[in-house]
Structure 1
Amino acid sequence: MTEAVLDLDAVTKRYPGAEGPVPVLSGVSLRVEAGETLALTGESGSGKSTLLHLAGGLDTADGGTVRLMGQDLAGLSDAARARLRGRHAGLVFQQFNLVPSLDVSANVALQARLSGRHDPALDVRLIGRLGLAGLERRFPEQLSGGQQQRVAIARALAARPDVILADEPTGNLDEATGDAVLDLLLELAAETGAALLMVTHSTRLAARLGRQLRLSRGRLDTDLPA
């Protein structure tokens, strides 16, 4: 068996509540191989976004182990987790986190430059494929929510990550644009050998990925039928 790009083993996570800690993840185990595409579904509050934050090292688990590219994230400092994430993970979350003082081109290139993987030709390709051509010199405040989301997706893909962690990447897009974005995510993942772990509420989009899993009350169900 090859080494997983992402490996969660018996992971637990709780958050403070008015009447004590509230369990969000209860012993979740998940292995994602290089090149694999996996959709994660589940009702609101089931822990999907929490799982992605743990997988990307943006938060730490209360129990169990999270490994990214074989590295145990619990054993790393915040700075070391950030370096590992920058080199290997492309993040697309519901908060776009674009830099207000940078235009579209600079935002797209930012992560790739930081990771030493900047490819201007890929930037141009991503900007065109995501319908952002002509907007390169605009700043985030001059863009719609859907346009900002597409910039965030381009930024994640531009660094050619080993694993793409995407939380509802088509959530603010119309169906046709959402389909085009997923086409691009799947195409770039296949081209670079990256894995894709995508949270989505759309069973239609989830069915296009290689595996579908469901989180329910903090526990991971077995694979859903294709």
Structure 2
Amino acid sequence: MLIALQKVSKSYRTAEGPLEVLREVDLGLEVGRTLALTGESGSGKSTLLHLAAGLDHPDSGRIEIAGQDISQLNDVGRAALRRGVVGLVFQQFNLIPSLDVGANLSFHARLAGRYDSAWQSELVEKLGLEALLKRYPEQLSVGQQQRVAIGRTLAARPKLVLADEPTGNLDEATGDAVLALMLELVVQTGAALLMVTHSTRLAERLDARVHLRAGRIA
């Protein structure tokens, strides 16, 4: 398994007491496979992705990526994991305001030592970003920013892509093209994709689908 969650639970403190978000979730994804994670709002989908990325800690359970228990890593180790193995496409784009689109696209790939100008050019073409390379994030629409964020993640050729509604701000045609590009990356590089989506239509294009209901795999 490239990523495995074993009996993972997570709760948050509220004024009314602990709020259980995930309850003993088991989940696994092999190299070269794609998995859609569906569920109603508040079912724990985004929390699961944040835990898998090492951005938060589970209350209990174990999360392994490439055979490594990420709970044993410190902040530096988790950051290195995200830089070298895991690519994130979250709803907060986190583009760097002082860099133009071209530099934003190559940023993570350069950090990981995997910058490939030919691959970036291919991404630019497929994401329709050719005319935007010299613009800055504040000059882009929300949909354009999302395409740049997706391209930045894929440019580094991560082994595991964690995507939270990656096509949520895109029109249907562009969203379909972006998902096709993600699936192509899996085929080309032997990566894996775990994608949160509300779209049954998009979920059906992935290899498998699991549904979260009230913090449990239904």
Q: Same fold (TM over 0.5)?
A: yes
Query: Cα offset for 1:71?
Result: 1.1
Of the candidates 174, 177, 185, which is equivalent to residue 171 of structure 2?
A: 174
**AA at the equivalent of 1:102:** L
Match for 1:109 among 83, 106, 119?
Answer: 106
- 5 Å matches for 1:65-76? 65-76=62-73
SS in 1 for 2:123: helix
Distance 1:15 1:107 in 2: 34
Show CA shifts across 1:111-139 (max 9, x none). Answer: 11111111111111101100111110110
Question: Aligned partner of 1:18: which letter?
Answer: A
Distance in 2, matches of 1:14 and 1:49, equals 13
CA distance in 2, matches of 1:134, 1:66: 41
TM-score by length of 1: 0.95
The reply to whether residue 122 of structure 1 matches residue 139 of structure 2 is no
Residue matched to 1:224 = none
Q: Could you tell me which of 209, 214, 217 is aligned with 2:211?
A: 214
For the pair 1:95 / 2:92, whether they are aligned, the reply is: yes
Kindly indicate whether residue 4 of structure 2 is the aligned counterpart of residue 7 of structure 1.
yes
Counterpart selection for 1:132 from 129, 145, 150: 129
Please give the residue correspondences for 1:184-195 in structure 2 after superposition, counting only pairs within 5 Å.
184-195=181-192
Q: Look up the SS of the partner of 1:100 in the other structure.
A: coil
Q: Which 4+ residue blocks in structure 1 deviate beyond 3 angstroms?
A: none
Hey, what does 2:28 align to over in structure 1? 31
Q: 1:69 offset after TM fit, Å? A: 1.3
Shift of 1:68: 1.3
Question: Could you state the TM-score of these two structures normalised by the residue count of structure 2?
Answer: 0.99
* 1:62 corresponds to 2:59: yes
Question: Which sections of structure 1, spanning at least 5 residues, go unmatched?
Answer: 222-226
1:43, distance to aligned residue in structure 2 (A): 0.0
Equivalent position SS for 1:16:
strand
Equivalenced residue count is 218
In structure 1, give the amino acid aligned to 2:29: V
Give the unaligned 5+ runs of structure 2. none
Inter-partner Cα distance in structure 1 for 2:98 and 2:113: 21
CA distance in 2, matches of 1:87, 1:68: 12
